[in-house]
Structure 1
Amino acid sequence: MIHLIIVISFFALFIIVALLYYFFYQAKGIVRINRLLTLKEAYANQIQGKKRLIVGGSDVLYSFDTAFLNEKGGLPHVNFGLNVGLGMQFILDTAMKNAKSGDEIVFCFAYSLYYRPNLDIFAYEYYRMYNRHKLKRFSLKKQVYYLLANLRLNVKFVEKKFDISECGAYQNIAFSDLDPSKNKPLRFPEHFEETAAIRALHRFVRMAKRRNIDVKLTYPSTLGFDTYEHSNYLADLKAYLESNFTVIGSPNDYFVPLSEIANSVYHVNQIGQKRRTEQFLQEIKERESL
Structure 2
Amino acid sequence: MRFFTFFLSGLLLGAVVWMSVIYTLIGTPGDSSIGLHETFSIKKDILTETPSPRIIFVGGSGVLMGVGADIINELVGVPTVNFGIWAGFDLVYQMHNIKEFLRDGDVVVFSFEYTNYDYPTRMSEGTRQYVMQRDESYFLEQPVMEQLNQIFTLGPEGFYKILAAALVPNVEVERAYPIEKINEFGDQTVNRVDKPDALKQRIIKNRGPDNFSHKVDNMDRGLTALADQIEVLRDKKEVKFLATYPNTIYFKEYEDGHLNQFEDKFEDFFEKKDIPVLGAARDFMYPKKYFYDTAYHLNNLGVEKRSKALAELLLKDGDIQKMRKYWKNRSS
TM-score using structure 2 length: 0.73
Cα offsets for 1:144-194 (capped at 9, x unmatched): 112436358999x95334421022102252143241685111234164345
The aligned residue for residue 286 of structure 1 is 316
In structure 2, give the amino acid aligned to 1:227.
E
**Separation in 2 of the partners of 1:208 and 1:247?**
18
**Separation in 2 of the partners of 1:223 and 1:190?**
16
The aligned residue for residue 262 of structure 1 is 292
Contact 1:63 1:221 in 2 (8 A): yes
Structure 1: segments with no counterpart, 5+ residues: none
TM superposition shift of 1:133: 3.8
2:269 to 213, 229, 244: 244
Q: Indicate the larger mover: 59-68 or 170-179.
A: 170-179
Identical counterparts, % of pairs: 19
2:209 to 176, 185, 204: 185
Correspondence 1:59 to 2:75: no
TM superposition shift of 1:86: 1.1
Distance 1:82 1:190, change over 3 A: closer
In structure 2, give the amino acid aligned to 1:62.
M
For the pair shown, which has the larger CA radius of gyration, 1 or 2? Answer: 2
TM superposition shift of 1:195: 4.2
Structure 2: segments with no counterpart, 5+ residues: 1-5, 165-172, 271-275, 323-332
TM superposition shift of 1:89: 0.8
Cα offsets for 1:185-228 (capped at 9, x unmatched): 12341643454432221122233444211011101111111111
Cα offsets for 1:258-284 (capped at 9, x unmatched): 111110011111110011111111111
- RMSD between superposed Cα atoms in Å: 3.2
Distance 1:63 1:140, change over 3 A: same
Contact 1:182 1:264 in 2 (8 A): no
Correspondence 1:50 to 2:53: yes
1:79 to 82, 90, 98: 82
The aligned residue for residue 326 of structure 2 is none
Three-state SS of the structure 2 residue aligned to 1:84 is coil
Contact 1:69 1:77 in 2 (8 A): yes
TM superposition shift of 1:243: 1.4
1:142 to 150, 159, 183: 150
Cα offsets for 1:76-102 (capped at 9, x unmatched): 111011111110111011122221111
Correspondence 1:164 to 2:164: no
TM superposition shift of 1:116: 1.1
The aligned residue for residue 203 of structure 1 is 228
**Separation in 2 of the partners of 1:164 and 1:134?**
26
**Separation in 1 of the partners of 2:281 and 2:158?**
31
TM-score using structure 1 length: 0.83
Q: Which has the higher contact order (CA 8 A, sep 6+)?
A: 2
In structure 2, give the amino acid aligned to 1:170.
Q
Distance 1:208 1:271, change over 3 A: same
In structure 1, give the amino acid aligned to 2:39.
L
